[in-house]
Structure 1
Amino acid sequence: MIQPAATSDFYGFKDLLTDAERAALDRLRSLLAEHVGPIVDDYWERGEFPEQIVAPLIDADLMNPAEVLAAGQKPSALYSGFRNFELGRMDASVATYYNAQSGLFRTTVNLGGSAEQVAVLEPRITSFACKGVFALTEPEHGSDIAGGLATSAKQEQRDGVAGWVINGQKRWIGGAGQADVLAVFARDAADSQIKCFLVPTDAPGMEIRKIPGKTSLRIMQNADIELGNVWVPASARLAKINSFADVAACLRNMRSDVAWIATGVCFGAYESARDYVASRSQFGKPLGSFQLIQEKLAHMLSNATASLALVVRLTQQQEAGIYRDENSAMAKMFTARMLRETAALAREVCGGNGILLENNVARHHADAEAIYSYEGTHEINSLIIGRAITGVSAFR
């Protein structure tokens, strides 16, 4: 049996974190190993979400970890990135579930809400007292959502109270059935601009249906949503989202979260394959001693390390106030592509056993396909980068 390397972080990117942040991440890794690792394959095969992991994740207070606060620090953006990394390293669905709250919903409220809305909602979001998800994609509109979004919102008073009536459909909304609130994006009938509304999931006229038959992200419960004359008060509208440009500002932040998840899953696939070949023997020798296997391991780790370098630098830029569509698009495009290739190589070096859940490669291999497409497909992100390179938009 071969003894694998003690760390996969050959360039020491985690050294950029504070001691307190690393301690919080070590605690998260232990939590995932205890509460998620032993059951994740069973729930993935069943296509169900393990509700018993929610309480430990909430109690861990990962958005404001005790170690960091006790050190008199504020959690850095780099810490938040590595938090997504650790979640993804264990399982893409668990990472996507947590990021739906900590990334998508929180970002939408913090960027789109008024100061008053943020002050009320931020502590409720970080504590999970208010569970929310992001509802943008529609059955007929994914990549073309900017111009094609069809869900409508019309101002209407009810019992003397100003509000909005929302009609339309949303699709692929992860965690909707477990949420209290949906951040629903709809086109204002008056000015045709995109607005965002916090809609309770138990609102009359709201119907949420689980999407069955998925071959990727099977633990994550994605939903079809029907909104039929759903009324919300005027206070439910996020005050700073008044056009798709404001939505794009949210997406610019969210793509970096997904790139971190993709990078974490990439390392998870590599490490699972590395551990397998270290313990498996063929022709009387450990698989890890063969030249062809070592070349593939080197390829996988290089992919993962390049992805980590990219997301670390992107996050450093964003924490310094530098937000560029092309930078976040490049990170999402590259990390998802590297994940796809790495997961395939991981499956390959495990041979036929690579399709068995018990070897921890098959989940990553399947989940890579969903990550490759969500939060901006490879093609759409390529065009965002191409627009920055040439100064010409190829979208129209």
Structure 2
Amino acid sequence: MPFTPVPSDFYDYALALTDREREFLGELRSTLDREVAPIVDDHWDRAEFPAAVPGIIARAGVVGLGYPETRPFENSATFRGWTAFELARVDASTATYVGVQNGLVAGSIGVCGSEAQRAEWLPKLASGEVVGAFGLTEPLSGSDSAKGLRTTARRDGDEWVLNGSKRWIGNATFSDMTIIWAKDEVDGQVKGFIVPTSTPGYTATKIEHKMALRMVQNADITLEDVRVPASSKLEHANSFKDTSSVLRQTRAEVAWLAAGVAAGAYEAALRYTTERIQFGRPIAATQLVQHHLATCLGNITASIGMCVRVSEMLDAGEQRDEHSALAKAFVTSRMRETVALAREMCGGNGIVTDYGPGRFFADAEAIYSYEGTREMNHLIVGRAVTGHAAFV
């Protein structure tokens, strides 16, 4: 499928990708427009995740990018960011599903797993044979996960015993396995475990009444004497620094996802304002609407530029926590303004899913907070530039 930059890529950043990468994105965009876009509004309204999406995503080849076990062709972090962008400009919930499956779950195994764990799990995640979830956040531990994690792990012979609870875990109501992060009772270090969801003592309960990312099936997880073999511990996950090495990559991709949400809202508003006739002409012909459109486009263009640079730094091995933290904080803030302006330009029609901006507007609120709030990411940046930690 031929690739052309979308209207929200005003500076044609995507043209810097390789021919193979652009071809992949063109095929992905066609698949999303044909198979995902027509079904998301209905499922979003009903707070249900479409059963067809995992298969669609698996056939599209999005999961496993960056790992030789699953996607042998060379691709850049910038390209992987663009896949998140393309997914999110159609639907943030679908992009979040992929972010969990590919970034957090496959990422945990790709970064922290042994060769045997990579060989066993990465192909299954890429093919959709296995759906994964990522269990870090807890009811009483979100921003302070580095020190405040309460879920425990205790070695007992050839097994580990896990006890505790997790909250806001995406995909968890239908996942086959979950990466559980728990604090070792012996050394107090955070370690990661591959836990099949069929394991006795593991339960997941859907979180109801959400106003954002309604398609995403978030769950509360309870772990009561959950026993897993020693081989289920991620070999290279032995402290929260190892957890952070996963989050450093995914936080940058969340910035890409936020830019995609802003782009989806902007493009929907652009279509609406060029078609909506008031006082005998399209409302896009008015100064106020054009001012809003230009503001949205500026936000998106600046966001893409920041995302591209952070991804380049990741490929070069130069990206640090503060780089991805600044990108996530800045881009989600610009996203929040953009979706609000997009909704505003649609007037009353902006609060229903029929016209697009309403769904993006609601979903943006969750993306603004997950994988690190703006305030916490600003503190990560502040510590880097001042040399002083302001964390409590």
Residue 56 of structure 1: how far off its partner (Å): 1.9
Q: Which moved more, 1:82-91 or 1:240-249?
A: 240-249
AA in 2 matched with 1:316: E
Which residue in 1 is equivalent to 2:69? Answer: none
Q: Distance in 2 between matches of 1:307 and 1:331?
A: 8
Name the structure 1 match of 2:267.
271
The one-letter code of the counterpart of 1:77 is A
Contact 1:63 1:75 in 2 (8 A): no
Deviations 1:188-234 (A, max 9, x none): 01111101100000100011100000000000000000000000000
The residue correspondences of 1:366-377 to structure 2 (distance < 5 A) are 366-377=362-373
Give the secondary structure class of the aligned counterpart of 1:38: helix
Contact 1:187–1:193 at 8 Å: present in 2 too? Answer: yes
Give CA-to-partner distance per residue, 1:294-318, whole Å, 9 cap, x none.
Answer: 0000000000111101101110110
SS of alignment partner, residue 172 of structure 1: strand
* Pair 1:239-2:204 in alignment: no
1:121 has 2:121 as partner: yes
Q: Which residue of 2 aligns with 1:311?
A: 307
Distance 1:307 1:179 in 2: 32
Q: Is this contact kept in 1: 2:64–2:122, CA < 8 A?
A: no
Instruction: Please say if residues 216 and 367 of structure 1, whose CA atoms lie closer than 8 Å, have aligned partners that are also in contact.
Output: yes
Moved over 3 A (4+): none
Structure 2 match to 1:102:
102
Report SS of the residue matched to 1:48. Answer: coil
1:185 — aligned with what?
181
Q: Determine whether 1:224 maps to 2:215.
A: no
**Tell me, which stretches of 5 or more residues in structure 1 are unaligned?**
66-71
The answer to whether 1:8 aligns with 2:4 is no
Question: What count of residue pairs does the alignment treat as equivalent?
Answer: 382
* RMSD, aligned CA: 1.4
Which residue number in structure 1 is paired with residue 68 of structure 2? none
Paired-residue identity, %? 48
1:314-329 alignment to 2 at 5 Å? Answer: 314-329=310-325
- Of 295, 302, 320 in structure 2, the residue corresponding to residue 299 of structure 1 is 295
Aligned equivalents of 1:229, 1:49: Cα separation in 2: 30
The TM-score normalised by the length of structure 1 is 0.94
Q: Is the 8 A contact 2:7 2:267 kept in 1?
A: no
Q: How far apart, in 1, do the equivalents of 2:362 and 2:270 lie?
A: 18
1:253 and 2:249 are equivalent in the alignment: yes
Q: Distance in 1 between matches of 2:59 and 2:10?
A: 32
Structure 1 window deviating more from structure 2 (33-42 vs 356-365): it is 33-42
Letter of the 2:127 partner, please give it. Answer: S
Cα distance, 1:7 vs structure 2: 2.7
- Please give the alpha-carbon distance, in whole angstroms, between the structure 2 residues aligned to 1:286 and 1:79: 36
Shift of 1:131: 2.1
Q: Distance in 2 between matches of 1:218 and 1:8?
A: 25
Deviation at 1:64, TM superposition (A): 6.4
> Are residue 359 (structure 1) and residue 389 (structure 2) matched?
no
Residue 69 of structure 1 aligns with which residue?
Answer: none
1:176 equivalent among 169, 172, 175: 172
Instruction: Indicate which of 343, 348, 353 corresponds to 1:347.
Output: 343
Shift of 1:142: 0.5
Q: How does 1:151-162 map to 2 (within 5 A)?
A: 151-157=151-157, 162=158
Q: Which amino acid aligns with 1:15?
A: L
Deviation string, structure 1 residues 212-261 (Cα, Å, up to 9, x no partner): 00000000000000000000000000011111111111111110111111
What's the offset of the Cα at 1:118?
Answer: 1.9
Q: AA paired with 1:271? A: E
Change (3 A) 1:310 1:207: same
Q: Give the Cα separation in 2 of the matches to 1:96 and 1:63.
A: 12
> C-alpha deviations, 1:102-155, integer Å up to 9, x for none?
111111111111233223322222222332121100011111111110000101
The one-letter code of the counterpart of 1:177 is T
1:128, 1:302 → 2: CA distance? 37
Distance 2:47 2:226 in 1: 30
Tell me the alpha carbon deviations over residues 24-56 of structure 1, each in whole angstroms, 9 at most, x when there is no partner: 111111111111111111111111111122222
Q: CA deviation at 1:6?
A: 7.0
Q: Is the 8 A contact 1:343 1:368 kept in 2?
A: yes
| TM-score for the superposition, normalised by structure 2 | 0.95
